[in-house]
Structure 1
Amino acid sequence: MNFTPLKTLRRTALTLTASALIITPALAHDIYIWPSYFNINAEKPTHVAVDVTASHTAFRPDFAMASNGVKVTGVDGKALRRFGPYYQGQRRASFDLPVNEAGTYGLFYQREASYFTKYKIGKRDKDKHMRANKVEAAAKLPKGARDIETRSYATTAMSFVTNQAPTTEALAPTNQGFELIAITHPSDYVTNEALQVKALFNGEPVADQTIIIEQEGPQYRKNPEALEIKTNKEGIASFTLANGGRYLLKTNHEKVATNELADFDVTRIFYAFEVIFE
């Protein structure tokens, strides 16, 4: 799989989220939920520190996320009601994940849909935006507004922590809306081996879905590179990574809206994972 320069991929990302990048800091940033350890071998109950933040640079805290978006699933795939005190600072939020069993825990941050309307106005076709759904915008738009489009943006950030032996319950799809599923178990990500993820919409494969993968710390490399791939007709994207370290996978799915509140529904997914060097 060929790599594409990060500069090129940044232009691609801007195209995918052009409306969001202009509107609000929470949407302008990538969002990640990032455990301090992705794999541990603890025979006794322990904790794993988890950061929840948004950033322009993978794994560099910039904008803290609120606790009401956090969801943790246990090794049985069921939601954990308690996952420790939640600290929300200016740049990042954090909590300690209780790890009491062997298996794989799912970490998720979910933002419900936010609505944004863009339009053009004036002789110079100046772009304008407002935070409003289609119905709300209709009452606020200035006279002469044209090329009006409203999008809803929903966001999911996810990662996984495995203690001892991996399990798959936390990886299971809900078959509701747009999802990204890890086919290769996250605890088995190693360098130079084929890794696979799958894009689904309501349980059905999504073909030709663009996926971007960036390694942390591009500011520390002379020629930072990122990977851009697309899913096949089965919704599967396959890739190999030569460098060990932490990565952020991101993808945006857009479809025509099915209600009167928006013209298009956009789902953004951010998947943080670790690749072990072998």
Structure 2
Amino acid sequence: MRNRIKLAILGLAAATALATPALAHRQWLLPSATILSGDDQWVTVDAAVSNDLFYFEHVPLRLDNLAVFAPDGSPAKAENQSTGKYRSTFDVQLSKPGTYKMAVTNEGVFGSYKLNGEQKRFRAMGGKVPEIPEGATDVRLSQNMGRLEIFVTAGKPTETVLKTTGKGLELVAETHPNNLAAGEEAKFALVLDGQPAADVEIEVVPGGNRYRSKLGDFKVKTDKDGKFTVKWPDAGMYWISASVQDDKATIKNARRRASYTATLEVMPQ
């Protein structure tokens, strides 16, 4: 009996260990470098969805809605785009000095309804709702707006591409995202549709968790003006992410979920 109880406990622990990572899939962009010097440099970016940050083991991140902006805010070209089994990649030529922004934005509608007593679910990208059959009941709609960003600087950091668009959840960088150092504080803010996003929780996760027994993550929260501060414990790549829900969807009778995610490199002092 004692052995059977012990085996049951071990089985439950194993099931929990397997289930936990499945809930922790994170989307990310990872540049080969964030600060470069010299003329005519290139950067390669990996894009994936995984349990362990910056490790390719789940699915690639699709690049259909990838946008690259040069230091003056004009569109720049993403070259050599490729999507494989576990990751997507692309290259960007840094032909102008200053800070570049690379972003993947996605907008989709998730919904469910009952028809003749049977539960139906659907997902549509681009923010358009598919036709719901007559007689459907218990219709529920959710509009998701997601933004993933990275910043890469050639030479001296510049500010132009840091401007927000006024749509969805976005980061306002009071501290330049390519000027982060271990042991120092960085000051940011979150805005939702251009307005301060108050009381929003931001998850901060250092990369390399595959080789640590603990995730090493921590959370901070925005104040009434949407501002927050992060003190970086160590150098390395960090994944930061936040999300909010409200009733300001552009689709009738839908709830909105807006999310923001960025990969930031923190340098040694």
Query: Per the shorter chain, which TM-score range?
Result: 0.7 to 0.9
Q: Which residue of 1 aligns with 2:96?
A: 101
Q: Once the 2 structures are TM-superposed, how far is the Cα of residue 177 of structure 1 from its aligned partner?
A: 2.9
Partner of 2:178: 187
User: 1:123-272 to 2 correspondence within 5 Å?
Assistant: 129-131=121-123, 136=130, 138-139=132-133, 146=138, 148-272=139-263
Choose from 104, 108, 111 the match for 1:114.
Answer: 108
Map of 2:62 onto structure 1:
66
Aligned CA distance change for structure 1 residues 30 and 262 (closer, same or farther; 3 Å) = farther
| Matched length | 246
Is the 8 Å Cα contact of residues 135 and 261 (structure 1) preserved in structure 2? no
Q: Distance in 2 between matches of 1:219 and 1:228?
A: 20
Q: CA RMSD in A?
A: 2.9
Q: How far has the Cα of 1:209 moved from its partner?
A: 0.9
Decide whether the 8 Å contact of 2:182 with 2:268 is kept in 1.
yes
Aligned-partner residue type, residue 92 of structure 1: R
- TM-score, normalization by structure 1: 0.79
Tell whether 2:69 aligns with 1:78. no
Q: Which runs of 4+ in 1 moved over 4 A?
A: 118-121, 126-129, 132-138, 258-262
The answer on whether the counterparts of 1:205 and 1:234 sit within 8 Å (CA) in structure 2 is yes
Residue range with higher mean Cα deviation, 156-165 or 55-64: 55-64
Does structure 2 retain, via aligned residues, the 8 Å contact 1:117–1:137? no
- Flag the structure with larger Rg: 2
CA gap of 1:130–1:141, structure 2 versus 1, over 3 A, is: farther
Offset of residue 181 of structure 1: 2.1
One-letter identity of the residue aligned with 1:156? R
Percent of matched pairs sharing the same residue: 24
Residues of 2 paired with 1:246 and 1:99: CA distance? Answer: 21
CA separation in 2, counterparts of 1:140 and 1:238?
50
Deviation at 1:253, TM superposition (A): 1.8
User: Which region of structure 1 is more displaced relative to structure 2, 89-98 or 52-61?
Assistant: 52-61
Cα gap change, 1:97/1:139 in structure 2, threshold over 3 Å: closer, same or farther?
Answer: same
Pairwise CA distance, 1:267:
1.4
- Unmatched segments (≥5 aa) in structure 2: 1-19
Which amino acid in the other structure matches residue 52 of structure 2?
T
1:74, distance to aligned residue in structure 2 (A): 0.4
Corresponding letter in the other structure for 1:33: L
Determine helix, strand or coil for the equivalent of 1:207.
coil
Q: Supply the AA of the counterpart residue of 1:74.
A: A
Per-residue deviation, 1:120: 8.7
Task: State how far apart, in whole Å, the 2-side matches of 1:71 and 1:179 are.
Answer: 15
- Paired residue secondary structure (1:170): helix
Deviations 1:188-223 (A, max 9, x none): 100111112211122211100111010112221123
Aligned-partner SS, 2:74:
coil
Quote how far apart the aligned CAs of 1:34 are.
Answer: 1.4
The change in CA–CA distance for 1:150 and 1:241 in structure 2 (over 3 A counts) is: same
Partner of 1:188: helix, strand, or coil?
coil
Taking a change above 3 Å as real, the CA distance of residues 136 and 68 of structure 1, as seen in their structure-2 partners, is closer
State whether residues 38 and 162 of structure 1, in contact with CA within 8 Å, keep that contact through their aligned partners in structure 2: yes
Q: CA deviation at 1:135?
A: 6.2
Q: Does 1:36 align with 2:32?
A: yes
Whole-Å Cα distance in 2 between the matches of residues 140 and 215 of structure 1? 49
Q: Which sections of structure 1, spanning at least 5 residues, go unmatched?
A: 1-13, 15-20, 23-27
> What residue is the counterpart of 1:9 in the other structure?
none
Q: TM-score, normalised by structure 2?
A: 0.81
Instruction: Give the distance between the partners of 2:54 and 2:200, measured in 1 at CA.
Output: 24
Q: Distance in 2 between matches of 1:232 and 1:271?
A: 20
